[in-house]
Chains A and B, each alone.
Chain A
């Protein structure tokens, strides 16, 4: 099957999902991001790689944080950034997704950063661009439905590599609502591609997708057992709406079983790091003492995220 993210030379032209990307491309992105870390520390925080290019942030679903980090990353690459909050404009007038894309292409867009509530929406856009012969326009998925959030996955990998150096000796646990999490799917593909020998998923059966074993993941329902001797803990955000149905009885019961407390953290390796894609629900999935503790690397994740997004945008727009 043709992978729409890669051109015929195997180069990355869109970033839609981590799945299907070879290790060399993931490593290229992480290495490029490392070279950009220094830019953010400069007094003049800019490089001219995307000068004269237009980056459109197309957020069909609200997200201030992710959009902001993409905006900062694009600006540090000297691109012109246009933020479109689609909820309030075209969609409410009945314009279709692809009509919106055609219009923005006519405005000479070079790169779309897309967030959408439906899994696969960025694929539809990438395919459409190919059909209309616009191989000069690129798509970066900033989160689609439950499917993927590849830049978050990559910044998580950057963080792990920064603290742990070598992927091939690690035990990584992902804890919480994996079923509804695009971050978890991207992390799982990235971890297995980069050679992590043991990826664990921890959560109640209602929050775990079926067939996780097919993705090379070991499932644990008991958090204490699952955290034993892990090097990395990735906590996931528990959305409030999960409490309204029959998935979970209460935030309190969830926290008792799957909240990360200092006691549970002590079961992991002493040098284990604690990650979270944010925004955190303190007291629901993570105890404040852990969130603010010495093993948490949640704020560095945010900083790395900008360098990783700079790397992704400069690579796809450069190919």
Chain B
């Protein structure tokens, strides 16, 4: 199947491409840019007039509670690869479970499923899961999702073991003791609303511990969902030191702060919590400078689990279908050029994963997102394919709409 995508603005941040031209796809790969390869006859032409043609988005964190609906949501959001944290029910701590998830993803045939295996059995932070077995079953790295390893010795051993096989370990830096009772950033808003606080030190202590262990073990570490200015500063130090560490930030944390809790809005409850304005500013700078990739941290939560008092509501927001428009919104507000913004959700996450995807070079797998950067749409429950309708943006207008998504040169979504 040969496809020509015509008249679009092709942006391939990794290879510095940004021009109006045609993209040619053959045998599931990018076959040419601008010029058709010899003998190319298009079976299908896609008119991308007024649209941006970019690599398919790679989301470093999306929970797939009902996998069919969520993978449909992914491609509707232009996401062609999703990294799935292991905190499913049951947790992804056995090779058979990972195998089944990968198989199911292929069967559905929409976005690629890249599972993170559980670092410890049941994510309980005590006994190691069978990392090599999980890797063989298709896990791309190992993680605790947002459950801290309480026992520092267990964390050290887990990282040593992972380093033995050069497996990467993904951790959300949050000290168990300082975060276990908290429900909001320890700041002005939590104080006013009488919500138990999670201090910034919960993040910085965990980063300092993990970075020290990375230094000692040589384990490759990816720290997920940074939330604070002080955390960003530690992240920058670790990178400057040349340690094998990378970072990501949830897109909501680039746009919202503790003030968005308003009068106890449960849709503004996140893990880690939304923090203060200066924290949001530092996160924005970190994403802008390329220190961190951006992800959706897609967390579908049923209405019944949100229609509760703030502290009882489950944290998280739907993300797969808003990752692109919210990244565009952030970029516009922060004065980041479109190619740089797209880099944070394509090439940057590919680099975290060590994958050759996230680009449109000739020969690359044809995972492509075609979107209209001007089109607006209203975020309503009906507008979302995800089962997760939980969003602080319900009712808001979003700018940026995906028209077509291709995975491996196959159209998997078309608006």
* In the complex, B37 has a CB within 8 A of chain A: no
- Restricting to A1-45, which residues have a CB under 8 Å from any CB of B? 1, 3-4, 19
Contact of A119 among B187, B188, B193, B307 (CB under 8 A): B193
When chains A and B are docked, how far (Å) is the Cα of A214 from the Cα of B259? 14
Binary contact readout A122-136 vs B (1 if CB under 8 angstroms, 0 otherwise): 011001100000000
Binary contact readout B246-285 vs A (1 if CB under 8 angstroms, 0 otherwise): 0000000000000000111000000000000000000000
Quick check: B307 and A96 within 8 Å, CB to CB? Answer: yes
Question: How many Å from the CB of A214 to the closest CB on chain B?
Answer: 5
Quick check: A215 and B311 within 8 Å, CB to CB? Answer: no
Residue of B nearest to A4 (CB): B263
Which residues of chain A have C-beta atoms less than 8 A from B187's C-beta?
210-211
When chains A and B are docked, how far (Å) is the Cα of A116 from the Cα of B312? 12
Binary contact readout A278-296 vs B (1 if CB under 8 angstroms, 0 otherwise): 0000000000000000000
Which residues of chain A have C-beta atoms less than 8 A from B188's C-beta?
211, 214
> Of B85-93, B148-156, B194-202, which stretch is located at the interface?
B194-202
When chains A and B are docked, how far (Å) is the Cα of A56 from the Cα of B308? 20
* In the complex, B381 has a CB within 8 A of chain A: no
Question: How many Å from the CB of A80 to the closest CB on chain B?
Answer: 27
Quick check: A19 and B192 within 8 Å, CB to CB? Answer: yes
Which residues of chain B have C-beta atoms less than 8 A from A97's C-beta?
308-309
> Of A104-112, A140-148, A166-174, which stretch is located at the interface?
A140-148
* In the complex, A120 has a CB within 8 A of chain B: yes
Which residues of chain B have C-beta atoms less than 8 A from A119's C-beta?
193-195, 264, 309-311
* In the complex, B382 has a CB within 8 A of chain A: no
Which residues of chain A have C-beta atoms less than 8 A from B310's C-beta?
118-120
Quick check: B194 and A182 within 8 Å, CB to CB? Answer: yes
Contact of A118 among B197, B263, B311 (CB under 8 A): B311
- A146 touching B196 in the complex, CB below 8 Å, given contacts A1-B262, A96-B304, A212-B191: yes
Quick check: B264 and A148 within 8 Å, CB to CB? Answer: no
Report the number of A-B residue pairs with Cβ-Cβ less than 8 Å.
70
Question: How many Å from the CB of B258 to the closest CB on chain A?
Answer: 11
Chain B interface category by residue count: 20 to 34
Binary contact readout A46-80 vs B (1 if CB under 8 angstroms, 0 otherwise): 00000000000000000000000000000000000
When chains A and B are docked, how far (Å) is the Cα of A4 from the Cα of B263? 9
Quick check: A124 and B307 within 8 Å, CB to CB? Answer: yes
Question: How many Å from the CB of B269 to the closest CB on chain A?
Answer: 11
* In the complex, B12 has a CB within 8 A of chain A: no
B contact patch SS: loop
Which residues of chain A have C-beta atoms less than 8 A from B4's C-beta?
none
Residue of A nearest to B191 (CB): A209
* In the complex, B186 has a CB within 8 A of chain A: yes
Question: How many Å from the CB of B230 to the closest CB on chain A?
Answer: 15
Quick check: B309 and A120 within 8 Å, CB to CB? Answer: yes
Residue of B nearest to A182 (CB): B194
Residue of B nearest to A127 (CB): B263
Task: Find the residue from B193, B194, B263 having the highest chain A CB count within 10 A.
Answer: B194
* In the complex, A98 has a CB within 8 A of chain B: yes
- A98 touching B307 in the complex, CB below 8 Å, given contacts A119-B193, A148-B194, A185-B194: yes
Which residues of chain B have C-beta atoms less than 8 A from A128's C-beta?
307
When chains A and B are docked, how far (Å) is the Cα of A167 from the Cα of B264? 31
When chains A and B are docked, how far (Å) is the Cα of A4 from the Cα of B186? 25
Quick check: B186 and A116 within 8 Å, CB to CB? Answer: no
When chains A and B are docked, how far (Å) is the Cα of A182 from the Cα of B191? 11
Question: How many Å from the CB of A259 to the closest CB on chain B?
Answer: 25
When chains A and B are docked, how far (Å) is the Cα of A317 from the Cα of B195? 29
When chains A and B are docked, how far (Å) is the Cα of A43 from the Cα of B198? 54
Contact of B309 among A121, A146, A209 (CB under 8 A): A121
Contact of A124 among B194, B196, B308 (CB under 8 A): B308
Binary contact readout B186-219 vs A (1 if CB under 8 angstroms, 0 otherwise): 1110011111110000000000000000000000
When chains A and B are docked, how far (Å) is the Cα of A128 from the Cα of B308? 11
When chains A and B are docked, how far (Å) is the Cα of A52 from the Cα of B307? 31
When chains A and B are docked, how far (Å) is the Cα of A54 from the Cα of B163? 67
Residue of B nearest to A120 (CB): B264
Question: How many Å from the CB of A61 to the closest CB on chain B?
Answer: 12
When chains A and B are docked, how far (Å) is the Cα of A120 from the Cα of B189? 13
When chains A and B are docked, how far (Å) is the Cα of A116 from the Cα of B311? 12
Quick check: B308 and A123 within 8 Å, CB to CB? Answer: no
Which residues of chain A have C-beta atoms less than 8 A from B186's C-beta?
210
When chains A and B are docked, how far (Å) is the Cα of A148 from the Cα of B264? 13
When chains A and B are docked, how far (Å) is the Cα of A185 from the Cα of B312? 21
Which residues of chain B have C-beta atoms less than 8 A from A214's C-beta?
188, 191
When chains A and B are docked, how far (Å) is the Cα of A120 from the Cα of B191? 13
When chains A and B are docked, how far (Å) is the Cα of A96 from the Cα of B312? 11
Question: How many Å from the CB of B380 to the closest CB on chain A?
Answer: 16
Question: How many Å from the CB of A287 to the closest CB on chain B?
Answer: 29
Binary contact readout A144-156 vs B (1 if CB under 8 angstroms, 0 otherwise): 1111100000000
Quick check: A118 and B262 within 8 Å, CB to CB? Answer: no
Question: How many Å from the CB of A26 to the closest CB on chain B?
Answer: 18
Quick check: B311 and A145 within 8 Å, CB to CB? Answer: yes
Which residues of chain A have C-beta atoms less than 8 A from B262's C-beta?
1
Which residues of chain A have C-beta atoms less than 8 A from B264's C-beta?
119-120, 123-124
When chains A and B are docked, how far (Å) is the Cα of A124 from the Cα of B265? 9
Question: How many Å from the CB of A10 to the closest CB on chain B?
Answer: 17
When chains A and B are docked, how far (Å) is the Cα of A182 from the Cα of B196? 12
Binary contact readout B307-327 vs A (1 if CB under 8 angstroms, 0 otherwise): 111111000000000000000
Quick check: B197 and A120 within 8 Å, CB to CB? Answer: no
Quick check: B304 and A215 within 8 Å, CB to CB? Answer: no
Which residues of chain A have C-beta atoms less than 8 A from B312's C-beta?
118
Residue of A nearest to B309 (CB): A118
Quick check: A120 and B192 within 8 Å, CB to CB? Answer: no
- A210 touching B311 in the complex, CB below 8 Å, given contacts A1-B263, A215-B192: no
Which residues of chain A have C-beta atoms less than 8 A from B307's C-beta?
96, 98, 124, 128
Residue of A nearest to B261 (CB): A120
Residue of A nearest to B262 (CB): A1
Question: How many Å from the CB of B229 to the closest CB on chain A?
Answer: 16
- A116 touching B196 in the complex, CB below 8 Å, given contacts A210-B191, A211-B188: no
20 A-B pairs within 8 Å (CB atoms) are namely A1-B262, A97-B308, A98-B307, A118-B310, A119-B193, A119-B195, A120-B193, A120-B311, A123-B264, A124-B308, A124-B309, A144-B194, A145-B311, A146-B194, A146-B196, A185-B192, A185-B194, A210-B197, A211-B188, A214-B191
Give 12 A-B pairs besides A145-B194, A214-B188 with Cβ atoms closer than 8 angstroms: A1-B263, A3-B263, A119-B310, A120-B263, A124-B264, A124-B307, A145-B195, A145-B309, A147-B193, A147-B195, A209-B191, A210-B197
Shortest beta-carbon contacts, A-B, top 8: A120-B264, A147-B194, A146-B194, A118-B309, A121-B309, A119-B194, A209-B191, A120-B310
